[in-house]
Amino acid sequence: MPKYVVSLEEVDNEDVGFVGGKNASLGEMLSEVEVPVPPGFAVTSEGYDFFIEEAGIREEIRNILEKTNVESISELRKAGKKIRSLIIESETPGRLREQIAYEYRSMGKKLDEENALVAVRSSATAEDLPDASFAGQQETYLNVSGVDELVEATKKCIASLFTNRAIHYREERGFDHFKVKLSVGVQKMVNASGSGIMFTIEPDSGHRDVLHIDASWGLGELVVGGKVNPDRYSYFKPTESLVSRDLGQKSREMVWKNEETVVKDVPQKRRERYVLLENEVEELACYGVEIEEHYDMPMDIEWAKDVDTGKLYILQARPETVHSQNRGDAIRSYRLKEKGKIITSGQAIGRKIGSGEANVIMDSERIEEFEEGQVLVTDMTDPDWEPIMKKASAIVTEKGGSTSHAAIVSRELGIAAVVGTEDASRVLGTGEKVTVDCSSGRGRIFKGKLDFEVEEKQVDEIPKTETKVLLNVGIPENAFDLGQYPVDGVGLAREEFIIGSYIGEHPKKLIEEGRQEYFIQELSYGIGKIGAGFYPRPVVVRLSDFKTNEYADLKGGEKYEPEEENPMIGWRGASRYVSDEFQEAFAMECEALRRVREDMGLTNVKIMIPFCRTVEELKETKKLMAENGLGRNKDGLEIYMMTEIPSNVILAERFAEEVDGFSVGSNDLTQLVLGVDRDNQSLQHIFDERDEAVKNRIRDLIQRAGESCKEVSICGNAPSDYPDYAKFLVEAGIDAISVTPDVALNTIFRVHEAEERSK
């Protein structure tokens, strides 16, 4: 007797043709991987064939498909609707119904639940292959109870093999409609307080050491469908630690109420809470790592947290289909060549740029109005939108996160997308020319079609250099992308950029309000993301170097900052840390760095002290650091200092006794050698880092530091702005050059050329 229904515990990954990719994977995890998976059973592909044959509709379906031009949206809709109606109106064969009822009741007895609530999901036999994602092509039915409801939901799942999007996808990928069969998965329903998606590879950059989690309140359909902007977490596998998190808006949730599934608004206080605690992120990430190790490939995983028990469950696991197929033999970088006005912004998906005429379409019924090369602007997408998404030059949505449908498909298509803008349909108009920029790690939509360039370098063509080439990193958002550049680490990560973008409030205001922990956590996550992105290569983090006018611009800052005639040479850097007025705020910075190094395990993070006028000031700063857990050499901690003041060069030997290395801040050094306020526009014709007086000071430092066996790098603008500066630095004997990411690859070639000439 053919087996039309089997328990999930009876199948594994060898049974994809029998129960589909999704069900085979669930069975594999239940028997082979120690992760919590809800019990269940599957209607097999034999059950599907039996249904279609008994209904006598196979040839009619074939005839409809043969006569349909799937590129015509109206024809596709008509054909899909007709086929689905044929299936739904057919009677479920008695033998199939009996086997479904038997397995359902057997599962209920094991759970001690009569008419147990179950989730009913499709599992196509060509689904979730390593190089093609069928995710979202068929339907899911939640909170199904009783044999009659279950049989009806099973029939609807079978019909969903012929949704418009599924038909189009199979045609586009060259899959035979009748070689792709459908299995139906039935699992114990997890009534979720929170749920989401987990990628065991960073979904935008493809960083293999980073595991990414999206989380929102309630059942997971809103996250999968891109209907909410979820919380985002980054977990670093080598050190087994949470290194970054971002709060999502989570404005709506899907819940089980009064025996039905409803979508409701989330109260503001709950929106401002993270769905997962840190220990829950770590537990979930451990499950993800176990699944990835078992399958030996990056995975795309759905999860849920039970509302009653708080237990975390794995609901699905399938291969990740974008970055896992990328051989990584080339580095492509996109760069805007023009400046423009930002209309709106959101979360960047990928790191590309696209431009074209905006077409605002809020209803999938109107997708026929979309034309090739336009920028699709909409509330959110689902698989019904795929026929036009492949025609788009870029995609902009108001809702969704990095694992939403729009994000996943745009990565597969290789086009720029910005999700979660909240207001795109209101601020962009159909016919308006726009540029969608994801190149900086932030999603920005500019007015007009801006010129941009794409640079591609083959990895095996990039030479090795004796002089280290490092990166200056401003914001953490693109750290996972930049961390895959063939560079030697980070020569300058600016704390003030992280404070400005992640926190935005004056530290003394937070102290007064008793919110020190907020400052420490956000700063540590920002630094942690950069540290993880480049691990185990060194990441030099410069302590905050806001000037008084910049601190005053932070929320609440005016209350705590004096007015100075020239903030450039005022209360900044080390002088601020050692002052009585700022020591408590400085202690928060130190605690954030301690957590990064000790709690996150990112001991590749080093610390740099800026604008240090005297040796005594340096010693006092180091003393305060040690009192706050950052003693030099503790767990290998190295301390560097910026060289921005002539006194740093004049007394280089004495400063060298206190630090492990120097980094030239060419902007401030030029300012103070030439006596030019670099903010004074009237003197810009004099301000020049190539001036011989400045270059001589750099040569002096390199020589004196070398005699003290201390490394010298440079992190000012000069080597980024002036191509010939690398040649001068190599000839002077510098140890490392830190530049902005956009010129990093070219700098490597220039350094190599200079080294070859000097041999």
Q: Which of 157, 590, 612, 715 is catalytic?
A: 715
Nearest in space to 105 (alpha carbons), one of 249, 214, 97: 97
Largest CA distance in the chain: 93
Q: How far apart are the first and last CA of the chain?
A: 80
Q: Identify the active-site residue in 405, 506, 590, 612.
A: 405
DSSP string, 108-147: HHHHT-TT--EEEEEEETTTTBTTB--TTSS-EEEEE-SH
Burial of 547 (0-12, 13-18, 19+ CB in 10 A): buried
| Distance, CA of 573 to CA of 665 (rounded, Å) | 13
Asked if residues 496 and 549 have their Cβ atoms less than 8 Å apart, the reply is no
Residue (of 403, 379, 383) closest to 395 by Cα position: 379
For residue 463, the 8-state DSSP code is P
The residue behind tokens 């999603």 is 443
- d(CA 92, CA 100) in angstroms, rounded, equals 11
Q: Which of these, 32, 29, 190, 24, lies nearest to 111 by C-alpha position?
A: 190
Ramachandran quadrant class, 431 (left: phi over 0; alpha: psi -120 to 50; beta: rest): left
Active site residue 286: no
Instruction: Quickly count helices (H) and strands (E) in the chain.
Output: 28, 30
Q: Is 709 an active-site residue?
A: no
Residues 372, 375, 378, 383: is their CA dihedral positive or negative?
A: positive
Q: Which residues pair with 736 in a beta bridge?
A: 468, 713
Distance CA 231, CA 251 (A): 11
Its sign, for the CA torsion 501, 506, 512, 516, is positive
Catalytic residues: 405, 715
